[in-house]
Amino acid sequence: MNDNMRISRRDIIGKVTAVAAAIGAFAKLGARAEAAPTIDQATAQYVSHPVLGNQCSWCTQFVAPSSCQIVKGTISPRGHCKYFATKLP
């Protein structure tokens, strides 16, 4: 092996660290893409008030303070849509 073919321990550690950072960055992007709401409020029949005593803050999809995992836009904790699914027992 000549001097041009030698790889230092520092080079290997640097490359492994760069690959690990790239994998972490892609993983974060994937997680964000999965979490993005896809349904518009009209399609979900969203309203900004409770319906039949049910409201967004009691739904499994609600993300405090004012978002939803599946419905786009600002979501009131006291709102409701046709996808309501209670998180209460």
- Report yes or no: 71 and 38 within 8 Å, Cβ to Cβ: no
Quick note: the x/- pattern for ligand SF4 over 39-58, rule CB under 6 A, is -----x-x---------x--
Residue from the set 47, 48, 70, 72 that interacts with ligand SF4 by CB under 6 A: 70
DSSP summary character for residue 63: E
When the beta carbons of 2 and 38 are compared against ligand SF4, the nearer one is 38
Of the candidates 82, 38, 79, the residue with the CA atom closest to the CA atom of residue 55: 79
Q: Among the residues of 2-87, which ranges form H helices?
A: 9-35, 41-44
For ligand SF4, the binding residues (CB under 6 A) are 44, 46, 56, 59, 61-62, 68, 70-71, 75, 79-81, 83-84
